[in-house]
Homo-oligomer: A and B are copies of this chain.
Amino acid sequence: MTPVDIASEVIALERGALDRWGHGDPLGYVELFDEDVTYFDPFQAHRLGRIETTALMQSVTGQIRVDRYDMQKPKVQCTGDVAVLSFNLVSYRTDEGCERAISSWNSTEVYRRTPRGWRIFHSHWSFIRPELKDANPEAM
């Protein structure tokens, strides 16, 4: 596989999981997680491992609705059997004919090639420029 082929395949896998996610089915992600997956999102107090991540996904099953998403500038950086997919994601919902953005994300998905196909072994989701309560954080 060329890097271009790998990029296409990994982006297609991610889109497949996002499509299911938007319909309230996070198990598309669970199926992509490798056994040692580690996970960050902005709602957790610390990094999660596989058991916790799977439980989290199961707990939100049926509770998500994304009517449209925009995966912006997906980039895949390949080294050997690892492909790092990064992108910005804006999610939209339409209610009473009115579409609005409900969230925007910095997203990192680290895939590795396995005998069962490409699998995610590290996942990091965070908000793009969150509007903080404390308007003047000492950032660094």
Footprint of B on A, CB under 8 Å?
21, 36, 38, 40, 42-47, 60, 64, 66, 72-73, 75, 77, 79-82, 84, 86-88, 91, 93, 102-103, 106, 108, 110, 112, 121-122, 124, 126-135, 137-140
A-B contact pairs, 23 of them (CB 8 A): A21-B140, A38-B75, A38-B77, A40-B108, A42-B127, A42-B130, A43-B139, A45-B128, A46-B73, A46-B88, A47-B86, A79-B80, A80-B82, A82-B82, A84-B121, A84-B122, A86-B122, A91-B140, A103-B139, A108-B108, A108-B122, A131-B134, A132-B133
A-B contact sample (13 more), CB < 8 A, given A42-B126, A84-B121, A133-B133: A38-B84, A40-B86, A42-B106, A42-B129, A46-B72, A77-B121, A77-B122, A79-B112, A80-B80, A93-B138, A102-B138, A127-B127, A132-B132
